[in-house]
Amino acid sequence: MKVSIFGASGYTGGELLRILINHRDIELSFLTSREYAGKPIHLAHPHLKGLLNSKFSSTSEAMKGDYDLAFLSLPPGNSKDITPKLLEVGIKVIDLSPDFRLKYPELYERWYGWKHPLPDLLDRSVYGIPEFNRDEIKRSSLVAVPGCNATSTLLASAPLTSLGANLLIADLKVGSSEAGSKPSKGSHHPERSQTIRPYSPSGHRHQAEVEQELKRFNPSIKVSIIPHSVGAVRGSFASVHAIIDADEGALWREFAKLYSNEPFIRIMPRGVFPDVKNVIGSNFADLGFSSDEESGRVTGFAAIDNLGKGAAGQAVQCMNLMLGFRETEALLIPPLRP
């Protein structure tokens, strides 16, 4: 089937290309970029030189094209203008922005500062975590893939919520590639390296979508997310804390019940904890847990590659489900070590 990528010159677009060039059932059609339109792919992604000889297209060219599915790797607020036009002509959409993640339009005014013009598409969209919504993703023509902060938090949180947690505190550490390919004061390497710095520690906007998805386990769940920028380039690590009466045996059973049959979830043995170094370059998520019986505190851990399971890898996993391919196709890539 034919696939296009809108916003193909950024980090996530490059990761989508790196995965899809090895997908045996996919032909790449239009790869859009405002900055690089008409120029070879390797100018933005030199690591793909010799592997992909295409050129970037403009958005207007791609909107006139004939293909089966489009990935939208665009800044917040841009996808909502393109998506209805693609759906109207029968093109399935996987959106990697937040434009269709929340189910209630009033939440966009609160968390993003703009009024959502397409509440009907919010009803149609499916939140793109296969571990939670696999069957719905298979039937959907519009999937909203979560980012790395929400993905790592959700994977670590679901077992705790299922065990009865009402309040979760999520401590996140995330690499600089999360901020995109255009440097800012916070993502510029000399500012980011050799430091650990919190950002958006109060009212982080991804709390809304995390709570939305966890309500299937506990309708009264509340989540507080505190992300920290660290000197790593890739990786997202979530430590999610709760005060509940659950020992390590109960945690192990709950993690196994939710994830033991998932192709990209690896549960660490008791006493062994996830490390982002073991998932970089892959779509795997390594999960673990601990219990402090003295304080009643339990913690779920999740390590993912923010560009893999936190973005492009998860998007391709959703695409495989939507188009009827094997879910793991092109994604069984071993992580990079050391």
Q: What are phi and psi of 111, to 5 degrees?
A: -95, -25
Nearest residue to 211 (alpha-carbon basis) of 202, 199, 219: 219
Beta carbons within 10 angstroms of residue 267's beta carbon: 20
Helix axes 130-139, 313-322, angle to 10 degrees: 40
Q: How many residues does the chain have?
A: 338
The letter for the amino acid at 179 is A
Catalytic residue among 148, 214, 276, 321: 148
Is residue 148 part of the annotated active site? The answer reads: yes
Burial class of residue 87 in the structure, from the number of CB atoms within 10 Å of its CB (0-12 exposed, 13-18 middle, 19+ buried) = middle
- CA–CA separation, 30 vs 200, rounded Å? 35
Q: Which of 58, 101, 223, 56 is nearest to 156 (CA)?
A: 223
C-alpha distances in angstroms, 62 versus 7, 28, 51, 72, 77? 11, 12, 22, 12, 19
Burial class (CB in 10 A: 0-12, 13-18, 19+), 202: exposed
123 token code pair: 């009803």
**Would you call the peptide bond into 338 cis, given omega within 30 degrees of 0 as the criterion?**
yes
- Smallest CA-to-CA distance from 243 within 202, 297, 199 is with 297
Which residues are marked as active site?
148
